[in-house]
């Protein structure tokens, strides 16, 4: 039995690359080709040169150096071109934007209970653009997946996001569940009977249901206005 393993600091096992959280900006190093930057255990402050352990910077996290400057690992430039098919993750402050992106059929996850660190991690692992109005968040985390929404007004926010990410041709009004973000499927009246008010069942032939959360949708009086608004905003964005 090996005793006193930790008694001598020199005998403590070295931190291996596996223990460093995966980072979005760096490909996993292969044993045959390990660049110095991937092995770098120290990240210097560009202002004063003070060095920090690389393990302090998971998922693009930055820290404030004692000299007052931000220290972090510079993100690699996002390589993918804007495809018009970006998927989003809205922070807690942008609940209404998330709901309206979904009404327009655009994929927008929303986790109002999640911390900044959890949102950043999810954006990286799930390949989503994190939408935020929080300047501090974008300063604290250096990842290319963060988009700082400039507009305050909801309509302007929609125009801004549709324009910036070239989403005009991806808009599919009323195709997505506003509650859970999943695509909805056509359903026959018989499929939804008992889940909608009898009067609605009598007056509508076409329904959609979310197979994820079970919510049922039909074209109510708002549908025409939502379509008209989508047309107006898409026109403003293009
Ligand atoms: Zn410094
Ligand atoms: Zn749903």
Q: Could you tell me if 54 and 92 lie in one domain? A: no
Residues, beta carbon < 5 Å, ion ligand 1: 45, 47-48, 50, 65, 67, 69
Q: Could you tell me if 122 and 169 lie in one domain? A: yes
Q: Could you tell me if 128 and 163 lie in one domain? A: yes
Q: Please give the model's pTM, rounded to 2 decimal places.
A: 0.76
Q: Could you tell me if 101 and 162 lie in one domain? A: yes
Q: Could you tell me if 63 and 94 lie in one domain? A: no
In a domain, 196, yes or no: no
**Total domain count for the chain?**
2
The pLDDT value recorded for residue 77 is 60
Cα(51) to centroid(ligand 1), Å: 8
In a domain, 110, yes or no: yes
Contact indicator for 146, 130 with CB cutoff of 8 Å: yes
Helix, strand or coil, per DSSP, at residue 83:
coil
Cα(37) to centroid(ligand 1), Å: 20
CB atoms within 10 A of CB 26: 14
Helix, strand or coil, per DSSP, at residue 209:
strand
Range of the domain at 101: 88-173
In a domain, 162, yes or no: yes
Q: Which ligand places an atom closest to the C-alpha of 65?
A: 1
Q: Could you tell me if 118 and 61 lie in one domain? A: no
Kindly give, in sequence order, each residue whose CB lies less than 8 Å from that of residue 103, ignoring residues fewer than 6 positions away: 173, 174, 176, 178, 226, 230
Q: Which ligand places an atom closest to the C-alpha of 208?
A: 2
Nearest one of 72, 66, 3 to 40, comparing CA atoms: 72
Q: Could you tell me if 161 and 100 lie in one domain? A: yes
In a domain, 136, yes or no: yes
Q: Could you tell me if 18 and 50 lie in one domain? A: yes
In a domain, 219, yes or no: no
Cα(73) to centroid(ligand 1), Å: 14
Question: Last residue of a domain, which of 156, 173, 190?
Answer: 173
Cα(78) to centroid(ligand 2), Å: 31
The pLDDT value recorded for residue 40 is 54
Question: Last residue of a domain, which of 157, 173, 189?
Answer: 173
Q: Which ligand places an atom closest to the C-alpha of 63?
A: 1
In a domain, 150, yes or no: yes
In a domain, 43, yes or no: yes
Q: Could you tell me if 108 and 162 lie in one domain? A: yes
Residues, beta carbon < 5 Å, ion ligand 2: 177, 179-180, 182, 210, 212-213, 215
Half-sphere exposure of 160 (CA within 13 A, CB side): 15
Q: Could you tell me if 108 and 52 lie in one domain? A: no
The pLDDT value recorded for residue 34 is 38
Question: Last residue of a domain, which of 117, 143, 173?
Answer: 173
pLDDT digit string (tens) for the chain, length 238 residues: 333 333 333 444 444 334 434 333 333 333 333 344 455 578 889 999 999 988 888 888 999 999 999 998 887 665 555 667 799 999 999 999 999 999 999 999 999 999 999 999 999 999 999 999 999 998 899 888 899 999 999 999 999 999 999 999 999 999 999 999 999 999 999 999 999 999 999 999 999 999 999 999 998 888 889 999 999 999 999 9
Q: Provide the 8-state DSSP code for 54.
A: G
Q: Could you tell me if 59 and 126 lie in one domain? A: no
Q: Could you tell me if 95 and 59 lie in one domain? A: no
In a domain, 191, yes or no: no
């Amino acid at each position: 039995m090996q005793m006193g393993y930790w008694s001598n600091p020199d005998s403590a096992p070295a931190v291996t690359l596996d223990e460093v959280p995966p980072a979005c900006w760096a490909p996993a190093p292969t044993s045959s080709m390990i660049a110095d930057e991937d092995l770098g255990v120290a990240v210097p402050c560009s202002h004063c040169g003070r060095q920090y352990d690389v393990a302090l910077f998971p998922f693009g996290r930055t820290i404030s150096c004692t000299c007052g400057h931000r220290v972090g690992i510079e993100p690699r430039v996002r390589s993918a071109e804007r495809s018009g098919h970006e998927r989003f993750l809205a922070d807690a402050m942008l609940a209404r934007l998330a709901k309206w992106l979904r009404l327009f059929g655009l994929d927008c996850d929303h986790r109002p209970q999640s911390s900044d660190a959890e949102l950043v991690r999810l954006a990286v692992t799930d390949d989503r653009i994190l939408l935020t109005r929080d300047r501090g968040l974008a300063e604290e985390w250096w990842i290319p997946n963060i988009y700082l929404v400039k507009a305050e007004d909801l309509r302007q926010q929609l125009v801004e996001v549709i324009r910036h990410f070239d989403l005009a041709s991806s808009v599919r009004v009323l195709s997505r569940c506003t509650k859970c973000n999943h695509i909805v499927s056509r359903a026959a009246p018989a499929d939804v009977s008992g889940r909608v008010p009898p009067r609605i069942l009598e007056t509508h032939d076409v329904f959609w249901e979310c197979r994820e959360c079970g919510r049922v949708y039909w074209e109510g009086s708002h549908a025409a206005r939502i379509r008209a608004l989508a047309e107006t905003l898409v026109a403003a964005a293009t």
